[in-house]
Structure 1
Amino acid sequence: MSSLRAKIQDVFNEPACEQNRGKDAKARKEGCSKPLTPGAAAGGCAFDGAKIVLQPITDVAHLIHAPLACEGNSWDNRGAASSGPTLWRTSFTTDLTELDVVMGRGERKLFKAIREIQEAYGPPAIFVYATCVTALIGDDIEAVCKRAAEKFGLPVVPVNAPGFVGSKNLGNKLAGEALLEHVIGTAEPDDAGLYDINILGEFNLSGEFWLVKPLLDRLGIRVRACIPGDARYLDIASAHRARAAMMVCSTALINLARKMEQRWDIPFFEGSFYGITDTSEALRQISQLLVKKGADPQILGRTEALIADEEAIAWKKLAAYRPRLEGKRVLLNTGGVKSWSVVHALMEIGIEIVGTSVKKSTVEDKERIKQILKDDNHMFERMTPRELYAMLSEHKADIMLSGGRTQFIALKAKTPWLDINQERQHPYAGYDGMVELVRQIELAIHNPIWCQLREPAPWDCQPAVREQLPRTKSEAVTLHAVQELAGTTADDFGEC
């Protein structure tokens, strides 16, 4: 537990975090968590955050040392996609019971579970996750993992991020620490080159990184490791031989990027693959970093040629949507990198941003938004469901882009809504992803259901019933029942 405490303190003191540098020593010890509001959802725990970062490593077995509910609540909580192995989709848990806790059988049960996974599946590695229960009863998962690795001859990685230590974001960073301590640098590639890069904080949601990777392939740039999206264990183990790195989500893995730069001299920058301009700029910065690390400067010319071709194709496709979307107002209720990159992407085609959430955004994210929107009047730290509903019901936005938790606010306000968070079904990264995002927004806004939904209800808009008098006694009874149900009489109906 003392080693876990040291790791947490190290994360709280993260020097690469701009927001952290502005705090005094006392504030840094408290971390980045915010006080909970009574009645509000607390969000994910540290275990949930660690699982989010590591589960997309597709060829390893993820073993949860906990009662069954911990794994049941966290399994497949993101729409990450794999191009090959499916072992990560199999749920493994030690399924501790009260009797195991009382009798102190947790460590023995964990060792047995590791052996069973090794014999049945033969994975390249097994990740073992501590949880609240097993941390509180004192199970030493690091000792068990070390013994199992020696016994079975495969890496067994302890992920010491029990839920009670902090927020989901803290769990993200603790997962990065586990990779640094036990995985990265443990394998030497035999094909390292001058054009190898790492992509950090990219989860390949709905397979959207597959829209970006072909662009890098055309430039001769190889992704040594995409952490964690569609990753393989050996790719991550040899990620220390990359020449440069791009950080996609700094709030999750900034500590991993900084320490890889310190240990292995891998420079990194933070960028985005959302939107045409940001995608082009990300490709430029990747090429520039590689040239600084010894790559042929000709790659800069090839990059500009690729950007010119792809931008021309994308703008031609987007031209068809501009007349129907220009001037439309969007409310963006998300956070992190999407709080500024999606704002920039939408403004490129003439969409107006009436508000964007910055709840999960870093100081750098907020500064980017100010530069894009020219002010901070459209930024909000937190907007209650009542405020969101009021804004949408008063038609201050034509569509809301958010996660699934707030979709019903938009639907209740009879306003189009599009999922842009991890549960989404469509990829939005890269040039083709931007076209897809605009297409989905256009489909949502101009869906004919909204016109029908906003019309008066049938019982508020009826033709004069006197012209349709009942012809039989049963029809008269039915009409009377309908009128009673609606709280009206025949005299109340008129023309609409």
Structure 2
Amino acid sequence: MKITQSKINELLTQPGCEHNQSKHGDKKNKSCAQQPKPGAAQGGCAFDGAMIALVPITDAAHLVHGPIACSGNSWGSRGSLSSGPVLYKTGFTTDLDETDVIFGGEKKLYKAILEVQNRYKPTAVFVYSTCVTALIGDDIDAVCKAAANKTGTPVIPVNAPGFIGSKNFGNRLAGEALLDYVVGTAEPEFTTPLDINLIGEYNVAGEMWNVVRLFEKLGIRVLAKMTGDGRYNEICYAHRAKLNVMICSKALLNMATKMEERYGIPYIEESFYGVEDMNRCLRNVAAKLGDPDLQERTEKLIAEETAALDVALAPYREKLKGKRVVLYTGGVKSWSIISAAKDLGMEVVATSTRKSTEEDKARIKKLLGQDGIMLEQESPKELLRIIKEKNADMLIAGGRNQYTALKARIPFLHINQERHHPYAGYEGMVEMARELYEAVYSPVWQQVRKPAPWEVAESVEQPVSSSSVLQEVH
């Protein structure tokens, strides 16, 4: 898949995006402006986005063609879990040096692919270009084709150098690689009327398993997972599903829209966070599949699960009711976690809108109400100001913001991809409530909010004025 300007414009123009559909005249179907700026890679570059989307394919080898730092700086930072193969946990890189930059790295890449295939026998090899290899002009498409012919193992080029755009754009480029080289290349042993695909769910901390169990209870088969706990072969026959369920906002929207165009598979966008969203997800999936018996079973399952959940959450809701929260994350979590917090009786007073689409922002406005604040700046100073102004009891954010919470002397809950606790589905809701309760009521906060020992000593040592003594005697 060559990256051309027309391909870039195609990926930045999403016919399934509600924001695009609301445009009129010449503005309709016009590509979104996503010109990368120098230094903007801190928030995630296209290479990072492509790896995030594809590395959770657990039985494939993922080979980074570039300097070792490109692989080492981001490898293993996402807590995607596997129920089987663990090859995806091993990082592979061609480790280009100055000589390779001068003379080219294609031969080194070819040898690396052969070595990976010979030593590890992966079901497929994904090869990622980087800024360096794109700038020196290495043709990874040709190398991958030659290596695939030699080994008999699929070798998929992923042309997503970091400088080409944002992390979200890298997600889409990864989706294009799957569409061009993987989806539709094999057939399943059998199909059922209740086959679905999950798109944009990465099984962080194993939370996807909480939801898959619910589908299994209803007789719904998850044919392919793209890509959390995914297998290469199941993605090959993902085109035989009856419905695509898209998670994670618009990261892989191009996969959903193009699979609808090519294979006639409808798609819906859902969230697994919070009671209401989980209920809505199950109902919408059952309705889209069009099986009356399935819809009846779905209502019965929802009634059973919510009844058990109400019992499990009762003590947490009592303790967490009225607690004020600042939420600082991105994408789908910027609104889906609001729903989960509301289910627990908590009040989200502010949330971030970074990496959020126009649809995400519309949902945020609806959930927060008129008094809620939508944060666009990414500075700790702004966060501290909002926490103080809104008298927040807690900060829910990514790991790098925990020090902001400590500075404000308020509890912190890690919500991003590096976390170790699953929060999706009904079981995840109980886990989230438990983590919130333990964070808010930890005895450490009583200690850190007390004056320091030397501050107490200084106040005791200060001389008392004679007027105050006379006043006390009087």
TM-score scaled by length of structure 2 = 0.93
Secondary structure of the residue that 2:413 maps to in structure 1?
strand
1: CA distance between counterparts of 2:385 and 2:341? Answer: 23
1:248-327 to structure 2, matched below 5 A, reads 248-291=247-290, 296-327=291-322
Name the structure 1 match of 2:7: 7
- TM-superposed CA distance for 1:337, in Å, is 1.1
Letter in 2 for 1:109: K
2: CA distance between counterparts of 1:217 and 1:147? Answer: 41
Deviations 1:241-284 (A, max 9, x none): 00001111132100111101111111111110101111011011
Letter in 2 for 1:7: K
Name the structure 2 match of 1:465: none
1:238–1:493 CA distance, 2 compared to 1 (3 A): farther
Name the structure 1 match of 2:99: 99
Deviations 1:384-411 (A, max 9, x none): 3112112334561000100012111110
Deviations 1:356-388 (A, max 9, x none): 111221122222223223337432223531121
Which of 372, 376, 394 aligns to 1:381? It is 376
- TM-superposed CA distance for 1:34, in Å, is 7.3
Name the structure 1 match of 2:471: none
Which of 342, 348, 351 aligns to 2:346? It is 351
**Range with greater deviation from structure 2 (1-10 or 134-143):** 1-10
Name the structure 1 match of 2:72: 72
Secondary structure of the residue that 1:284 maps to in structure 2?
helix
1:148-159 to structure 2, matched below 5 A, reads 148-159=147-158
Instruction: Tell me if the contact between 2:349 and 2:368 (Cα under 8 Å) persists in the aligned partners.
Output: no
Moved over 6 A (4+): none
Letter in 2 for 1:278: D
2:216 is the alignment partner of 1:217: yes
Secondary structure of the residue that 1:411 maps to in structure 2?
helix
- TM-superposed CA distance for 1:338, in Å, is 1.2
- TM-superposed CA distance for 1:79, in Å, is 0.8
Name the structure 1 match of 2:328: 333
Name the structure 1 match of 2:183: 184
Secondary structure of the residue that 2:198 maps to in structure 1?
strand
- TM-superposed CA distance for 1:35, in Å, is 6.0
Deviations 1:444-481 (A, max 9, x none): 1111100111011011113xxxxxxxxxxxxxxxxxxx
Name the structure 1 match of 2:63: 63
2: CA distance between counterparts of 1:214 and 1:129? Answer: 33
Name the structure 2 match of 1:477: none
Name the structure 2 match of 1:430: 425
**Range with greater deviation from structure 2 (25-34 or 252-261):** 25-34
Name the structure 1 match of 2:33: 31
Name the structure 2 match of 1:473: none
1: CA distance between counterparts of 2:319 and 2:408? Answer: 22
If you compute each CA radius of gyration, which structure gives the higher value, 1 or 2? Answer: 1
Aligned residues: 462
2: CA distance between counterparts of 1:161 and 1:376? Answer: 40
Name the structure 1 match of 2:144: 145
TM-score scaled by length of structure 1 = 0.89
Deviations 1:51-110 (A, max 9, x none): 000000000000111111111112112111111101001111111111122123x11111
2:205 is the alignment partner of 1:203: no
Which of 391, 395, 400 aligns to 1:400? It is 395
2:369 is the alignment partner of 1:367: no
Letter in 1 for 2:393: D
Secondary structure of the residue that 2:79 maps to in structure 1?
coil
Letter in 1 for 2:145: K
1: CA distance between counterparts of 2:431 and 2:299? Answer: 23
2: CA distance between counterparts of 1:376 and 1:180? Answer: 43
- TM-superposed CA distance for 1:33, in Å, is 5.4
Secondary structure of the residue that 1:459 maps to in structure 2?
helix
For structure 2, the residue ranges without an aligned partner over 5 or more in a row are 465-474
